[in-house]
Structure 1
Amino acid sequence: MTKMIKNPILKGFNPDPSIVRVEEDYYIATSTFEWFPGVQIHHSKDLVNWRLMTRPLDRLSLLDMKGNPNSGGVWAPCLSYDGDLFYLVYSDVKSWHHTSNVTKDSHNYVTTAKDIMGPWSEPIYLNSSGFDPSLFHDEDGKKWMVNMQNDIRKGKNPFAGILLQEFSLTEKKLVGPVKNIFEGTELGVTEAPHLYKRNDYYYLMTAEGGTSWEHAVTMARSKNIWGPYEVDPQNPMLTSANNPKLELQKAGHASLVETQNGEFYITHLCGRPLRPEMKCNLGRETSIQKVYWSEDGWLRLVGGGNEPKVEVPAPDLPEHSFERLRCKNDFDHTEFNIHLNTLRIPPDESWFSLTDRRGHIRLRGQESLSSLHRQSLVARRQQAFRCEAETCIEFEPEHFQQMAGLVCFYDTNDYIYLRISRNEELGKTLAIHHMNSGELDEPLDEEINIEGWSKVYLRVNVFNQSIEFSYSDDAVKWYKIDKVFEAAQLSDEHNKLGFTGSFIGICVQDLSGMKKHADFDYFTYFELDE
C-alpha cells in the first residue's frame, strides 16, 4: 500500500511556505508577521513527519518590529542553499493597508548561515520596492532576486509585476539593471515569485488571485531569465477557487522541491475554515502536493486536476518520525520553549525572566493589549480546532490598572482576555475583556470576587466554534464562566485586515508604568481529538 501524506503538514498559522532540500534534509520556512522570533523553519527527512527546528530572526539587529502594524513584520521569507551557505530572504513590513494603491513600506533583507541552526549573519539590506523577495542561484554561479513591485498611483495596478535584479554577495547588495519580467495574468494580485531552472527553461512560479478564497498558483517560463515569459496554457496549476466544498481552501503561494530520488513536490499555503462560518481561525497553514513534469514541460498535480488534495502519495524515502514535544511548559528550565512567541519585541530582562523565581516565568507588566510597542505577552499558536490551555498565576494587583491572565489573541483589535485585577470595593477580582473589531466590551454582569486567593488557575477550552473559560483556586474544582465566545472571531475573515491566526497565551499589563509582575507556574496546551 502506498504511504500517504496527510495535509496540512504544518498546522496552524504557518503560511507562505518556502521549501528547500539539502542532501537528505528538507526545510520549510514560513511567515511569522508581528510575532517574535521571526520565521519558523520546520525540518523533515521524509516529507511526512515535520518538527519545528529553529527560528532564525531572534535578535533585534535582524528584526526590530516595535511599532509595526498588526499583520506587519515578516512576510513571505525565502530559504535557499547554494552548496555552501543557507540564504534567508525576508520582508519587514512597516506599514500596509488592505485598500489598493496605498503605500506598503516593505524593507527586504538577506541573512546567511553555514548551518541551518545558525549563527545567522547580520542582515544585508536589499530594496524596498515590494514584498515577497526570493533568491535564485543559477547554474553559472550568479544569484538573482525577484520580488513583487508595489504601485500606489491612481489607476495603476498596485501589484505591478515581478522585478528581477542580480545580487552580489561579495558587494553585499543588488547590482545591475532592474527589470519587470512578468506583469501577471488576468487572475491579478501577482506576488510570491520563485525562479527555478529545468532543462532549457527558467520557470517563474507566482501566487495570484489574492491570499484568500481566489488564491492560485501560476506558472510561466522563458529560455531567457529576463523573459519574455509564456504562461502555462492550463493556468492556474493549483487553486481552490470556485469549490467551497474542498477541505483545503485558499490554495496558493507555492514553492517547488525535488527529492534525492527525482520526485517533485510543491508546498503551498491553505486554510481550513470553520463551517458554516467559513472563517479560518487556525490561520493560513501549509500543505504539500505531489507533482510531475508533463511531456510539454509544465508542472501538473499527480492524480490530475488543479485542486489541492488532503491525502498525497509520500515519496520513496525511509520513514523518519520525531518525538512529540511536551505540551506542558513548567518553566523549570531557562531555555525558552520553541513553540512560545512574544509580540513584536524579544523577551528581555526588563520584562521577562525564567530565573527570578525558580520553576516560574515572571512577566513584568508593560503596555495594554492594544499596544503596538511594548507588550508583556507570551503565546503559542492554536494548531487544532479542539484544544485546551491552562495556567497558574500568582499576582497581587494594587489597583485596577494592573492586570494579568490568560488570553485568546488574534491581534490588538480582536482578543478575549480572562484577567485578574483589583476592584476598589471587591478587592482582587476576575473579569473578561473582550475586544471585537476594535470595540472593547466587558461581557460579565459583574466582576468575580477572588480576594484571598494566593494562586489562581485559569483554563480555556476551544471546541471548534466555541471558546469557554473556567477558573479555580486549587486546580481540582473548576468554575465555568457562563459566557461562550465565538472562535471564528479570531480569524482573518472576521478581522478583514489581517494575515495571522489564533494564539493562546499569558500576559501582564501595568498601565501605571510601575511594572508590577506576575509569576506563572506553568502554561499547558493540549490538542484534543478532532
Structure 2
Amino acid sequence: MTDTLRNPILAGFNPDPSICRVGEDYYIATSTFEWYPGVQIHHSQDLVNWRLASRPLARAAQLDMRGNPDSCGIWAPCLSYADGQFWLIYTDMKRYEGNFKDGHNYLVTAPAIEGPWSDPVYLNSSGFDPSLFHDDDGRKWLVNLKWDYRQQEGGDRFGGILLQEYDVERRRLVGPIRNIFAGTEMKLTEGPHLYRRDGWYHLLVAEGGTGYDHAVTMARSREIAGPYEVHPDNPVLTTRQDPDNPLQRAGHADLVDTPEGETYMVHLCSRPLPGTRRSPLGRETAIQKVEWGEDGWLRLAQGGNTPALEVAVPGAENGALQQAPAEEERYTFAPGLLPGDFQWLRTPEPERLFSLDARPGYLRLFGRESVGSWFEQALVARRQDSWHCSAETELEFEPEDIQQLAGLIAYYNRFKFHYLAVSLNDEGDKVLSVMSCHDEWPSGRLDIAEAGVTLEPDLPVRLGLDIRERELQFRFAQGSAGWQPIGPVLDAGLLSDEGSGRAHGYFTGNFLGMAAHDISGRAAPADFAAFRYRRNAC
C-alpha cells in the first residue's frame, strides 16, 4: 500500500540534499552557507515527515566562517554511513566571486547523528561539492569537481570530476588524482555522487548551474576511474524546458534505497513566486520515485524527466501520512539553548552575540557590527518557509545614540534586507524606522523609508511583519494601543536568490528574526521577550 506526498519535503532554504539510510531511518543533510551552526540534518522513518535532528558543525575547531562573504561557508555536504559510523564531508567556501575560488574540504565522523562529531580531517581544496563513496571492497573514494580559474572561450571553469582514494588509517587522501568525467554539453558539472549496482559504477552529477537550466546527469562505467558513458536519455531530471512546473531549478540530487529495494531521488528545487522568477524561500528539497530499467539505467517512475509535485511513497503502510506544518510557531526563550529553528551568522562564538541566561525568559542580543557584516553580527533568525506568513516579537531596548539599533528583520544578505529598527533621532527621542537595502549589487544603498515615529521611553514595543507573496508590510504597537502599519509596502520578492542584478545570483533564502547592531562598539543590549511565526492562508 502506498500514499502520496506533496513536494517539497523540506520547505524553505534547504538546498543540495544528500541522503542516506541506516536501517529504518533516513537522514538528509543540506547546505547552510554562512548560517551557523553548519549543515542541517533532518531525520525521517517514512520519507514523508521530517524533523531537524542535528546541526553537527557547532564549534570553532570544525567551522569558523567569520569573514566569509555572502553565500560562502558550507556548500553541498555529503552524508553517508559505513563501518558503524556516520561520515560527513563538507566544503567551507572562503571566496565566491571572480575567477578564483578558495574552498576547503573536510571530513568529520560520529557514532550517532546527534554526535559527538569529531574534529575535522582536512582533505583538499581543489574544488567544491566533495562526496565520499564506500566501495564494496572496503576502499573509500573522494569525488569532487575540479575548479579551473582560467577563462575559456566557449567553456566554463568547472573542470571535470576528480577521483582520489581516502586512506582511513592515515586520515588523508592517497594515490593518483584522476579526472574521471568532463561532463556534457550542459556544462557546469558539479555535485558528484558515486553508486555501485549490478557491476556498474553509476556517477550522478548536477549540471547547467543552479539556476533555471539546472539538471541531473547520470553516467556509468565498469571501472571506477572510467571511462563513463552518459545516460541515453540524459538529463535524468530537469525543468529547463518546463517553465510551468511549480518545482523549478530541479537538480543537484542523491539516491537512496528503501529496505524493500525501491529507489528514491532527493533533489534541489525552488518555487518562484507566481508570475516571477524570484524565490524568497530559497532552494528547497524535493523527492522523486525512480526505477532501474531493464537496460540498467535509472529513470523517473512517472516517466519523462520533469519532477512531480506529488509522489508515491510507502508511508501509508506504517500509517505515516504527510503532516502539514503547524499554522503557528510560538517561541519562548528559556535559559539554555536557542529553539532549534533559529540560527545566527558565521561565528563559532555565539556568546558574544546573544545570551539566554543574562535575563531569564528573554533573548538578549548584544549589539555588534553593522547589518550585513561578514564578521560579527548579532542577528538570530529562522527560515521563511511560506509565501504567506507573519512574524512578531516584543522588544525592550533603550538606545543611547543613533549608532545603536535593534528590531525585527527580514534578511537575505547584506545587500537585501528590510529592517524595522528602534534607534534614536538627533533630538534624543526613541524612534522607529523602516530601513531597506534593495539596490543592485555592488552599491547596496540603504533607504530609510520612514523615520520619526516616536516611541514611549522605557516601554516595550511590539514589532510585526506580514508577507503576502511579493508584499511585505511592517507594523508596530506599544502599550495598550493596537497594531499600526508603518512604512510603505515593500517588495518581499527582492529577498531572494534572483532578486538582484548580479549575473550569478546567490544561494540562500530569506530569514525572519531579531537583530541588534551597535556600530559605536559599546555592545548595547536588546531584550526580546518572545517570537511568533505564523503561516497564513493564501
Q: TM-score, normalised by structure 1?
A: 0.97
Q: Which residue of 2 aligns with 1:391?
A: 393
Q: Which residue of 2 aligns with 1:292?
A: 291
Q: Which moved more, 1:266-275 or 1:426-435?
A: 426-435
Whether 1:487 aligns to 2:495 is no
Q: Which residue of 2 aligns with 1:331?
A: 333
1:478 to 483, 486, 491: 483
Residues 457 and 475 of structure 1 are in contact (CA less than 8 Å); yes or no, is this contact kept in structure 2? no
Q: Which moved more, 1:339-348 or 1:73-82?
A: 339-348
Residues 326-372 of structure 1: CA distance to partner in whole angstroms, max 9, x if unpaired?
Answer: 71111024221111000111353333110111100111100001311
Q: Which residue of 1 aligns with 2:76?
A: 76
Deviation at 1:441, TM superposition (A): 3.5
Q: How does 1:146-165 map to 2 (within 5 A)?
A: 146-155=143-152, 157-165=156-164
Q: Which residue of 2 aligns with 1:141?
A: 138
Q: Which residue of 2 aligns with 1:517?
A: 525
Q: Which moved more, 1:260-269 or 1:469-478?
A: 469-478
Residues 47-90 of structure 1: CA distance to partner in whole angstroms, max 9, x if unpaired?
Answer: 11111111101111111000000000000000000141100000
Q: Which residue of 2 aligns with 1:114?
A: 111
SS of structure 1 residue aligned to 2:499: helix
Alpha-carbon separation, structure 1, partners of 2:136 and 2:457: 70
Q: Which moved more, 1:116-125 or 1:156-165?
A: 156-165
2:364 to 353, 362, 376: 362
Alpha-carbon separation, structure 2, partners of 1:464 and 1:502: 12
Deviation at 1:243, TM superposition (A): 1.4
Q: Which residue of 1 aligns with 2:508?
A: 500
Alpha-carbon separation, structure 2, partners of 1:476 and 1:430: 15
Deviation at 1:465, TM superposition (A): 1.2
SS of structure 1 residue aligned to 2:498: helix
Residues 263 and 315 of structure 1 are in contact (CA less than 8 Å); yes or no, is this contact kept in structure 2? no
Residues 304-323 of structure 1: CA distance to partner in whole angstroms, max 9, x if unpaired?
Answer: 10000000101265234789
Q: Which residue of 1 aligns with 2:184?
A: 185
Deviation at 1:523, TM superposition (A): 1.2
Alpha-carbon separation, structure 2, partners of 1:59 and 1:519: 25
Residues 195 and 201 of structure 2 are in contact (CA less than 8 Å); yes or no, is this contact kept in structure 1? yes
Residues 46 and 319 of structure 1 are in contact (CA less than 8 Å); yes or no, is this contact kept in structure 2? no
Residues 8-43 of structure 1: CA distance to partner in whole angstroms, max 9, x if unpaired?
Answer: 000000000000000000000000000001000011
Q: What's the RMSD between the two structures over aligned residues?
A: 1.6
Residues 394-440 of structure 1: CA distance to partner in whole angstroms, max 9, x if unpaired?
Answer: 00000000000000000011101000001122600000111113433
Q: Which residue of 2 aligns with 1:311?
A: 310
Q: Which residue of 1 aligns with 2:464?
A: 459
Whether 1:88 aligns to 2:83 is no
Q: Which residue of 2 aligns with 1:418?
A: 420
Residues 63-122 of structure 1: CA distance to partner in whole angstroms, max 9, x if unpaired?
Answer: 10000000000000000001411000000000012x5xx111010000000111100000
Q: Which residue of 1 aligns with 2:39?
A: 39
Deviation at 1:242, TM superposition (A): 1.5
Alpha-carbon separation, structure 2, partners of 1:2 and 1:335: 39
Deviation at 1:482, TM superposition (A): 4.3
Residues 493-513 of structure 1: CA distance to partner in whole angstroms, max 9, x if unpaired?
Answer: 113331001001101011110
Q: Which residue of 2 aligns with 1:406?
A: 408
2:382 to 367, 380, 383: 380
Residues 2 and 314 of structure 2 are in contact (CA less than 8 Å); yes or no, is this contact kept in structure 1? no
Alpha-carbon separation, structure 2, partners of 1:407 and 1:28: 29
In structure 2, give the amino acid aligned to 1:35: W
Residues 30 and 41 of structure 1 are in contact (CA less than 8 Å); yes or no, is this contact kept in structure 2? yes
Alpha-carbon separation, structure 2, partners of 1:149 and 1:2: 42
SS of structure 2 residue aligned to 1:15: coil
Alpha-carbon separation, structure 1, partners of 2:125 and 2:480: 52
Alpha-carbon separation, structure 2, partners of 1:96 and 1:109: 18
Change beyond 3 A, Cα 1:477–1:5: same
Alpha-carbon separation, structure 2, partners of 1:256 and 1:281: 27
Q: How does 1:191-210 map to 2 (within 5 A)?
A: 191-210=190-209
Residues 141 and 164 of structure 2 are in contact (CA less than 8 Å); yes or no, is this contact kept in structure 1? yes
Residues 18 and 79 of structure 1 are in contact (CA less than 8 Å); yes or no, is this contact kept in structure 2? yes
Deviation at 1:132, TM superposition (A): 0.1
In structure 1, give the amino acid aligned to 2:206: A
Q: Which residue of 2 aligns with 1:253?
A: 252
In structure 1, give the amino acid aligned to 2:415: N
Alpha-carbon separation, structure 1, partners of 2:248 and 2:480: 39
Alpha-carbon separation, structure 1, partners of 2:300 and 2:268: 15
Return 5+ residue gaps in structure 1 as ranges. none
Return 5+ residue gaps in structure 2 as ranges. none
Q: Which moved more, 1:317-326 or 1:269-278?
A: 317-326
Residues 453 and 473 of structure 1 are in contact (CA less than 8 Å); yes or no, is this contact kept in structure 2? no
| Equivalent pairs, count | 527
Change beyond 3 A, Cα 1:412–1:514: same
Alpha-carbon separation, structure 2, partners of 1:458 and 1:475: 14
Alpha-carbon separation, structure 1, partners of 2:51 and 2:270: 20
Q: Which residue of 2 aligns with 1:350?
A: 352
